[in-house]
């Protein structure tokens, strides 16, 4: 299935340091995924996309720059040239292995709407069974926004409609909706999909769960979910890394430096970009990761699929069978050590795992 990558830094980075140069960059992952646990479908060759926010504030007034193509990412010379000549401090990148929707640029992620940018790794269970209900639920503005045929773009339209109905105008030029608003809209979007698919699957005998690794940004805050509609299965893999810089130590080899306590560089990825075990931390299944300025917050999603036992070991069989598990032997400490916290609505208050000094 798909892979995505998010970079947010205090200083801009050349896109090639994320997309093409590292030996295990997201582009190289699309054809050479040495960290993927399932090898039955090693290619992500059904198109790619990269969205990046310009450094010039005048150019970023109405959202990010967007480059998408249906050619395999590893064989696109325009992408290589663009990546070497472009810098940004906020980047969303995605390589696609299609599960729903034909091969077309309109079906490639990320999707953008004014200042907002969105991408998805996974799939909505029995999407055909809920598609009509989803489309009937959203306002015409967001219904007419949909250009492709993927469940992912429909999920983004639902997110926009939800944000609007919460009292925030998605057409806002300068973005900056705030982490509370974006997280609340993300949680409610997941709620709708969970409840609708549960109802649609009520009479089905064998139904796979929805895998909802969503990522959204307004150009300032980043919200990422790692979620599955199952109490026993692992969600698609997701990791984060933070430090003072992301540096090239030798041709193709990179590492995350931690020279001080500042988190100047934050990356979130379906599959780690480096082979250093200590560079990356697994995001707990069924949780929301928030990047607020350069602070990372983790909120567990507390619903019927939440596991109260912090030592419960979910099965990775489903995610592996779909090629959605990419990992090095990462420590599970973050999943075991999320402390008991007071409940805040549907989620517990955040655990701050990184912050600016």
Is 108 catalytic? The answer is: no
Contact 230, 317 (CB under 8 A): no
Pick the catalytic residue from 2, 108, 154, 242: 2
Question: Which residues does 19 contact at the CB level (< 8 Å), separation at least 6?
Answer: 25, 26, 27, 50, 73, 79, 83, 93
The DSSP output letter for 127 is H
C-alpha closest to that of 119 among 36, 199, 47, 25: 47
Q: Where are the alpha helices (DSSP H) in the chain?
A: 16-19, 26-29, 77-85, 127-137, 140-143, 151-165, 179-200, 317-321, 333-336
Rounded to 10 deg, the angle between the 179-200 and 127-137 helix axes is 130
Phi and psi dihedrals of 225, rounded to 5? -105, 145
Report how far apart, in Å, the C-alpha atoms of 176 and of each of 23, 110, 209, 217 are.
34, 19, 33, 9
Give the residue numbers marked as catalytic. 2
């Amino acid at each position: 299935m798909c892979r995505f990558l998010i970079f947010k830094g205090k200083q801009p980075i050349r896109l090639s340091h994320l997309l093409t140069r590292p030996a295990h960059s997201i582009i190289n992952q699309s054809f050479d995924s040495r960290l993927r646990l399932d090898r039955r479908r090693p290619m992500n060759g059904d198109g790619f996309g990269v969205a990046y926010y310009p450094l010039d504030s005048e150019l970023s007034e109405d959202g990010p720059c967007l480059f998408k193509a249906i050619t395999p990412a590893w064989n696109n010379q325009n992408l290589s040239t663009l990546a070497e000549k472009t810098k940004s401090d906020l980047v969303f990148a995605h390589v696609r292995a299609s599960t729903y929707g034909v091969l077309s640029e309109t079906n490639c992620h990320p999707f953008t709407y004014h200042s907002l940018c969105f991408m998805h790794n996974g799939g909505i269970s029995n999407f055909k069974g809920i598609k009509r209900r989803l489309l009937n639920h959203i306002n015409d503005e967001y219904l007419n926004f949909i250009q492709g045929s993927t469940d992912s773009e429909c999920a983004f339209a639902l997110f926009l409609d939800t944000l609007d109905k919460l009292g925030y105008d998605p057409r806002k030029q300068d973005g900056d909706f705030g982490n509370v608003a974006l997280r609340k809209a993300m949680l409610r979007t997941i709620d709708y999909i969970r409840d609708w698919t549960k109802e649609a699957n009520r009479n089905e005998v064998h139904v796979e769960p929805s895998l909802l690794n969503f990522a959204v940004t307004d150009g300032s805050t980043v919200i990422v979910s790692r979620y599955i509609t199952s109490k026993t299965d692992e969600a698609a893999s997701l990791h984060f890394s933070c430090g003072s810089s992301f540096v090239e130590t030798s041709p193709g080899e990179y590492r995350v430096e931690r020279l001080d306590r500042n988190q100047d560089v934050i990356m979130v990825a379906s599959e780690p970009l480096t082979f250093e075990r200590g560079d990356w931390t697994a995001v707990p299944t069924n949780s929301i990761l928030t990047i607020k300025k350069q602070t990372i917050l983790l909120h567990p999603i507390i619903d019927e699929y939440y596991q109260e036992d912090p030592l419960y070991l979910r099965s990775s069989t489903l995610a592996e069978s779909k090629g959605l598990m990419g990992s090095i032997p990462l420590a599970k400490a973050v999943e075991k050590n999320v402390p008991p916290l007071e409940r805040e609505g549907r989620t517990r208050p955040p655990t701050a795992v990184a912050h600016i000094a």
